[in-house]
A = this chain, B = another copy of it.
Amino acid sequence: VLCPGQGTRDHPPAQAALRDRLLSTVVSCFKRHGAAAIDTPVLELRETLMGKYGEDTKLIYELQDQGGELLALRYDLTVPFARYLAMNKVTNMKRYHVAKVYRRDNPATTRGRYREFYQCDFDIAGQFDPMIPDAECLKIVHEILSDLQLGDFVIKVNDRRILNGVLAACGVPESKLIPACSTVDKLDKVPWEEVRSEMVGEKGLSPEAADCIGEYVQLHGGLDLIERLLQDPKLSQNKLAKEGLGDMKLLFEYLTLFGITEKVSFDLSLARGLDYYTGVIFEAVLLHQENEHVEEPVSVGSVAGGGRYDGLVGMFDPKGRKVPCVGVSIGIERIFSILEQRLEASGEKLRTTETQVLVVTPQKHLLATRLKLISELWDAGIKAEMLYKKDPKLLKQLQYCEDTGIPLAAIVGEQELADGVVKLRDVATRQEVRM
């Protein structure tokens, strides 16, 4: 595959058309939930992005110092949104933003991982009653993945407070919370034994602490699991964990009213990498269905994720005023890869233009006629094309219709000119009417 730079790509028309279709499904859902659009620059001040992404800060693209401000390319749409809220003193907003972000990551283009890629974000900012906006974010993920007919999926949910509570309850000291957390995050890719040995080896946790963590983070379930953990002697003594579990219970009640609990799994191993989450976190994964004989469905990776970040806006406010936020980001590139492969397999050809009619002349010396007619069609709002040759062959013109899927040909020859009519031909059926 030719690519302009490592980890970037061009979208030729067929791909651009598919992506437009995909993005419009996502944006329709965001609008259905009453979100307004905003736009922020690709170029952010370097200091805006620093200290927001943990270990991934090294993946930020920095611009050369050519005089003036030090700039960087945005890494996601969440930090710019928080910067926007703080800078404009907005305390209440429901917005979506579909735009490109940049990461100096190792590209894995077959799996849809690029250095320049689209994100589709929906976020709710404001002080509200607990878990109502959070539940809506999960509903949105459910709607989009259903609308796109991507096959079976599960939305894993956890809460940073529960995870930190587990770690604390297992005796992990404050200083090791973040490294322990990022090790737990690997559980979706490697088995528990490996995670355990990293905890004890690299991260320096005691074997007892690691085993204790292992008992919790391998749990997943629904309301029943939440109830059980609320009774758990160790966890129930931890204030944060208790709060998190209480909210998780409320969340599941709301998700029950939305009728989507079947696809939602409370999963204690979910950690998510970013620093800024403070409460509920979630991630949607597609379940592999191609080989139906496999007993356990295999995850093909995350296609949506998000969570609550109540502290981020305050980091940009001179007085540290907080604006609670929760949001979701749709992993459009991975979904695009799946749809692209599926389209290829189906052999279906997506039209790349919307042209309704080709203006055709069957004899020579009729360029002026074509130009006059097409101009009238354009002025009437009709999507029309013509070949850019003075005297194109009739067959070539009709072939162009077939190749590009133009349904109609408006034919004006000498006879039609004399009669003052246009012959309209249905390209597929070859039926013609004079008008």
Interface residues of A (CB under 8 A from B): 2, 4-6, 8-13, 15-17, 19-20, 31-45, 48, 61-66, 68-69, 71, 73, 80, 83-84, 87-88, 94-95, 100, 102, 104, 115-116, 124, 126, 128-129, 132-133, 135-136, 139, 143, 254, 257-259, 352-355, 367-368, 371-372, 375, 378-379, 381-385, 388-390
Q: Let me know if B388 and A44 touch, CB within 8 A.
A: no
CB within 8 Å for A71 and B5 given contacts A66-B61, A375-B258? yes
Query: A212–B142 Cα gap in the complex (Å)?
Result: 72
Query: A65–B65 Cα gap in the complex (Å)?
Result: 11
Query: A73–B143 Cα gap in the complex (Å)?
Result: 36
Q: Let me know if A384 and B126 touch, CB within 8 A.
A: no
Central interface residue in A8, A259, A389, by most chain B CB within 10 Å: A8
- Nearest CB in chain B to that of A97: its residue: B16
- Nearest CB in chain B to that of A386: its residue: B132
- Nearest CB in chain B to that of A89: its residue: B2
CB within 8 Å for A371 and B257 given contacts A5-B69, A32-B383, A41-B4? yes
Copies in the assembly, this chain = 2
Which chain B residues border A8 with CB–CB below 8 Å?
41, 43
CB within 8 Å for A62 and B61 given contacts A38-B12, A371-B257? no
Which chain B residues border A39 with CB–CB below 8 Å?
10-11, 15-16, 19
Query: A42–B104 Cα gap in the complex (Å)?
Result: 14
CB within 8 Å for A388 and B34 given contacts A39-B16, A116-B41, A257-B375? no
